Each structure stands twice: as structure tokens, then as C-alpha cells.
Structure 1
């Protein structure tokens, strides 16, 4: 790749949509062609879900004050960040994928401009509800709120966002991603 031509695939989606599974599959199938960045989160690494770097609140604050994060935000009672290493990877011409926040998308777009490719992992409401119930972490009222929020935020995405339907097999979602990726200008 040419120096400085890397793209930042900014993955979003509701809890239960399968973002972590999708990103793990990208790691396994795309290897060196697409780097998947770890997030720094003020949540225990043993809490399940994505493979992330656990930071205490003071550690997070210190790193943020030192300017070590390319992106950072707060959501769901935790702080999240992506390290500045992604800037080096992009400058070297590598494509990078990060697990982002739908609400932080405008700030990420402002920072990375045309390099940023918004990718929404979508799931039909029935599948999403079934997945959320199977986790057993939320009440039925919480699940209803999550389903409503997922629908509203999916509709509010910018026109150029890639929408990947992850209601079926993960291999189908990867094929959708490949089709979008192949259509990008060189």
C-alpha cells in the first residue's frame, strides 16, 4: 500500500449485534491486510465480550491527559479509548478496524475525515431480542429500550455508512464486508 492511504473502519452496532464476533472473524480472515485495534476500557477484562485492555479510572485519566488516545468516549458507565498507535498504522498505509460508538461517530469523522468508513453491524429486531434474552443480563424492559434505541440509531446513520446484516451466519456478514471493501476506490 502507498504511505498514508490507510482507511479506518469504524464498527458500530447495538449490544448483541455480534460486533465482537465479526471483528474476531476479520482478525482471522484478513490478517495483515487489516489490523484490528484493541480498545482501552475501564471494565474488567474478565467481564466477557471483546478482548480489550483493562484500565482503572486513574490509569485511563492519566493516559488521556498524556494524549495517548486517538479516540475516547464514555458510555454505559465506562470509559473507552483507542490508542494513538492507529495513527501510525494509517500513516504507514495500513487499513485499521476499531470498535467505535455510534454516538461518538461525528467526532471520529471530524478527526479522520475521508479516511473513516462507518460500518454498522445490524441485526433484525427478532434476532437481537433473542440474543439479548439469551445473555440474561437485562430485564425485559431494558431489552425493549435497547431494541428501540438500536432501531433509532440505525436510521440516523450517515448516507455513506456500510450496513452489514449480521442476522444470519457470520460468514455471510464477512462476504458483505468484502463486497463493500472491494468497491472502494484504490
Structure 2
């Protein structure tokens, strides 16, 4: 049976990556699709672990070949989710998670209408700003820009199937795991998974 494609999006600072990593550690039935990017690797990043790092020319070639579920130019660099990282796993029955932004999510839903999408919100604007400042990586001007961008991103929460408010981290992880469990228990998937059992139960 074909796996399910999950989409998780959130504004910067909402804790998306931390929640996703915790869920992946708990749920062996789902794997993370590693995105492609044209930017250079940052200190500590490894090819095929954090991203697939390719040249801008190679990324353009992949766009022209139709290799991406979604792609976008982000802060001057290309970023995208490739079919080759997703389709084989789905075909083998493995659930796959895409950690992308709302624009990428819109592109994916147009191509995979049955994808299950989740948007993560922070508990408040103040909490979002505190998390950005806690990183200690950005100036006040950059943080102001990121907060403005976050407001725009959060305005698209209504395009998603589920919304999680990341106020208590462990609760948010539990809620995302519950979404994955509920998705697997949908009637259509259970009928496909347990067709022999259902037939045997109903035979006279």
C-alpha cells in the first residue's frame, strides 16, 4: 500500500524542526525528505544529511527536467523537494514528511491532493520574538524582518488540514504524532490494509 505524504510548515522560530525531529525519533513509519539547495553548506552541515547541496546550474537543470514537487528562490538561493527523494519511498509504503514553507506546500498539494498538511503556530508574537533572539544569530534589523515575514507566513494557516500551537513542546509532539496515527486509521487505508480480515469477519 502506498505511503502518505505529509507536509509540515511554520514561520521561522515556531519550533518546526525540533518538533519534526522528535516525531521522527518516535515514529519509524515516517521518514524526512532531504531537500535540495543551491547554497553552500554551513559549518556542521553534511551533504545528504541536512540537504543535498548542488550548484545553481544543476538546480536549474532539475527544474527544467520537472524533478521537483516544489521549489522556490529563498534569500537568493534555490531550495526544493525532489521527486526522487519522495516517490520511491511512497511507492514502497513508507510515509514521507516534507518540512517546507506555505508556498511549497501549496505547490505540493496541487500535485498530490491527498497529502496531509500541518501548520505550526507559536503561542504568541512575544514568544516567537524571544525564540528568534535566543538563537543569538541575528541583528535587531534582521529579527524585525523575520517577524514581518512570519506574520505573512502565519496568515496562510487556513490552507492546511491541521494546526498545532507549539506552547508546550512535548504536547505539540504528541499532537503531531496523533495526526499521523489518525491518518493511518482512516477508513480507506484500514480497508486496504485489512481487506482479508474484514472479508473474513463479514462472511456468513
- Short-chain TM bin: 0.7 to 0.9
Aligned residue in 1 for 2:67: 68
Aligned residue in 2 for 1:88: 88
Aligned residue in 2 for 1:107: 107
- Structure 1 pair 63/156, CA: closer, same or farther in 2 (3 Å)? closer
- Structure 1 pair 125/47, CA: closer, same or farther in 2 (3 Å)? farther
Q: Which of 17, 42, 48 does residue 46 from structure 1 map onto?
A: 42
SS at match of 1:27: helix
Counterparts of 2:71 and 2:143 in 1: how far apart (Å)?
26
Instruction: For residue 160 of structure 1, report the CA deviation from its aligned partner.
Output: 4.6
Instruction: For residue 182 of structure 1, report the CA deviation from its aligned partner.
Output: 2.7
1:45–1:53 Cα contact (<8 Å) kept? no
Aligned residue in 2 for 1:136: 136
- Structure 1 pair 48/11, CA: closer, same or farther in 2 (3 Å)? farther
1:8–1:95 Cα contact (<8 Å) kept? yes
- Structure 1 pair 167/55, CA: closer, same or farther in 2 (3 Å)? farther
Counterparts of 2:92 and 2:67 in 1: how far apart (Å)?
18
Q: Deviations over 1:64-89 (max 9, x none)?
A: 33333232222222111112131222
Which range is displaced more, 174-183 or 133-142?
133-142
Aligned residue in 2 for 1:9: 6
Instruction: For residue 103 of structure 1, report the CA deviation from its aligned partner.
Output: 2.0
Structure 1: which 5+ residue stretches go unaligned? none
Q: What is the aligned-residue RMSD (CA, Å)?
A: 2.3
TM-score (norm 2): 0.77
1:133–1:143 Cα contact (<8 Å) kept? yes
Which protein is bigger by CA-based radius of gyration?
A: 2
2:119–2:160 Cα contact (<8 Å) kept? no
- Structure 1 pair 48/18, CA: closer, same or farther in 2 (3 Å)? farther
